[in-house]
Amino acid sequence: MTEGKTEKRSYRSPRGLRDVLPQDVGVWNRLEEVARRLAGQRGFSEIRTPMFEETELFTRSVGEVTDIVEKEMFTIKKGEHSLTLRPEGTAGIARAYLQAGFAKSAPMQKLFLIGPMFRYERPQKGRERQFTQFDIEVLGSLDPRADAEVMHLAASFFEELGMEGLELRMNSMGDGEDRDRYREAIREFLAPKMAEHCELCQSRFTRNVLRVLDCKNPTCVELHQGAPIILDYLSAENRAHFDEVQDLLESLDRKVVVDPGIVRGLDYYTRTVFEVHYPALGARSALCGGGRYDHLLSDLGGPDLPAVGFAIGFTGTLIVLDQLGLKSGLIEDVPDVYVAAADDDGRRGVFEVAEELRAGGIGAVFDLEDKRMKAQMKAASKGNHRLAIIVGSDELARGVVTLKDLVQRTQTEVERAGIVEATRLALASTE
């Protein structure tokens, strides 16, 4: 391009990223509000960690031989440093917990985070390259009540939004010795079929055999039918933990489906793993995934402290809310009052009345486009405001304004001087 000349072109957001437009922000706010309320009621404190971390934090925690680390990280190289946009929240929270000294000062922490995560996935329904997670973590406890508490919380989040038809599925990944025995059994099961597997599975077979089971390739999925299940390899202790979590959930009348197929795509899990599914979404039906990660803190250089948590993805949640026709019920309230100018003299009056109402704690808007009276009233009812206040020169001269109830379709004149009180009364009567 020659200097001084700019080519005219338009721009779009990068693939897999999207804008949340004003008409949708209300629903997002409701999701966050429900998340914060449920977490707060249960003693979880909010934590905010950076959007990117040292790349090694993720290779160490999520695992080298995982889809996330092998294919999906947005990595930035700056000089000597390799930095990665966080693909998930748990690693950063565990790092922050250790860095803040909680492991010594207050090892029992209940934390939550709401924020964007980044994965270079093939964009498709329910999968984006930037997506938001509500992440819950209980650090410092091995108590099965912690597992049951977070699982119940995950399911309650969806119920609180009015969603039905979801399934809470759980499995155990065992730990230590039982995992070793299971790995061996899987290796034996897969070995004779390896030649028929995809290339990625073949390379994973030697590097991290359990990750072969993650493959979504239909041929490989077929080959995995009849594979040994880890529940048959659990130690008595881990079996007791698994049973106790189920008992606790049962005591809350929470239905859980035991699903030996849940292997989770991240390496840090031990014992309890679970997912919340909306089966009608098909292959990618998980709206939430989580579980225990009892060795992550020590793998990241801290003491041997257990932990359990989950992350709910907002992308899938919003799709299901839409499918169930629940989105419109979650839209945020609009300001109660539309202040309309009946004539030119009313224009300043409208401005003053709106500010007076706002100072009195009442939401109010007015027209900035010089619309005629009729168009202003149309905007007032289209905008779902509850009241219109009409300000005109005649009325102002008499010290009054007109108050129109847009729900009950009545109208009265009220004293200009007592406008805030009169509006409050009128709003109370339309409740």
Question: The tokens of 95 are what?
Answer: 């790092």
Q: Which is nearest to 63 in space by CA: 320, 322, 299?
A: 299
With contact defined as beta carbons under 8 Å apart, do 187 and 233 qualify?
A: no
CA 344 vs CA 94, 119, 393: distances in Å = 61, 55, 8
Contacts of 156 (CB under 8 A, 6+ apart): 38
Element (DSSP H or E) covering residue 299: helix 296-299
Q: Contact with ligand HAM (CB under 6 A): which of 59, 90, 109, 246? A: 90
Q: Interface with ligand HAM includes 310 (CB under 6 A)?
A: yes
Q: Contact with ligand HAM (CB under 6 A): which of 287, 297, 390, 401? A: 287
Q: Contact with ligand HAM (CB under 6 A): which of 27, 57, 311, 379? A: 311
Closest CB 266 distance from ligand HAM, rounded Å:
6
Q: Contact with ligand HAM (CB under 6 A): which of 27, 58, 73, 88? A: 88
CA 14 vs CA 28, 47, 115: distances in Å = 21, 28, 19
Exposure b/e, 274-307, CB count within 10 A at least 16 = b = bbbbbeebeebbbbbbbbbbbbbbeebebeebbb
Report the distance separating Cα 261 and Cα 190, nearest Å.
16
Q: Interface with ligand HAM includes 42 (CB under 6 A)?
A: no
Phi, psi (deg, nearest 5) at residue 276: -110, 125
Query: Stretches 38-46, 101-109, 195-203, 306-314: which one binds ligand HAM (CB under 6 A)?
Result: 306-314
User: Bridge-partner residues for 109, per DSSP?
Assistant: 139
Nearer to ligand HAM, 289 or 346 (CB): 289
Site track 247-266 with ligand HAM (rule: CB under 6 A), x = hit: ------------------xx
∠ CA 167-309-66, rounded to 5°: 85
How many other C-beta atoms are found inside a 10 Å radius of the C-beta of residue 170? Answer: 22
Q: Interface with ligand HAM includes 309 (CB under 6 A)?
A: yes
Residue nearest to ligand HAM (CB): 313
Q: Interface with ligand HAM includes 67 (CB under 6 A)?
A: no
Report the distance separating Cα 92 and Cα 83, nearest Å.
13
Query: Stretches 198-206, 211-219, 226-234, 284-292: which one binds ligand HAM (CB under 6 A)?
Result: 284-292
Q: Interface with ligand HAM includes 131 (CB under 6 A)?
A: yes
Contacts of 347 (CB under 8 A, 6+ apart): 341
| Displacement of CA 357 from its chain's centroid (Å) | 35
Size of residue set near ligand HAM by CB under 6 A: 26
Q: Interface with ligand HAM includes 121 (CB under 6 A)?
A: yes
Q: Interface with ligand HAM includes 335 (CB under 6 A)?
A: no
Q: Interface with ligand HAM includes 92 (CB under 6 A)?
A: no
Q: Interface with ligand HAM includes 173 (CB under 6 A)?
A: no
Q: Contact with ligand HAM (CB under 6 A): which of 42, 127, 295, 371? A: 127
Q: Interface with ligand HAM includes 128 (CB under 6 A)?
A: yes
Q: Which is nearest to 390 in space by CA: 334, 338, 344?
A: 338
Q: Interface with ligand HAM includes 288 (CB under 6 A)?
A: yes
Q: Contact with ligand HAM (CB under 6 A): which of 53, 67, 137, 294? A: 137
Report the distance separating Cα 62 and Cα 72, nearest Å.
12
Q: Which is nearest to 315 in space by CA: 333, 288, 275?
A: 288
Q: Contact with ligand HAM (CB under 6 A): which of 49, 66, 84, 133? A: 133
Nearer to ligand HAM, 89 or 346 (CB): 89
Query: Stretches 36-44, 131-139, 207-215, 394-402: which one binds ligand HAM (CB under 6 A)?
Result: 131-139
Closest CB 33 distance from ligand HAM, rounded Å:
19
Q: Interface with ligand HAM includes 135 (CB under 6 A)?
A: yes
Helices (H) and strands (E) in the chain — how many of each? 16, 16
Closest CB 263 distance from ligand HAM, rounded Å:
11
Query: Stretches 45-53, 132-140, 246-254, 418-426: which one binds ligand HAM (CB under 6 A)?
Result: 132-140
Q: Contact with ligand HAM (CB under 6 A): which of 144, 316, 335, 346? A: 316
In the complex, the residues that contact ligand HAM under the rule CB under 6 A are 88-90, 119, 121, 127-128, 131, 133, 135, 137, 265-266, 286-291, 293, 309-311, 313, 315-316
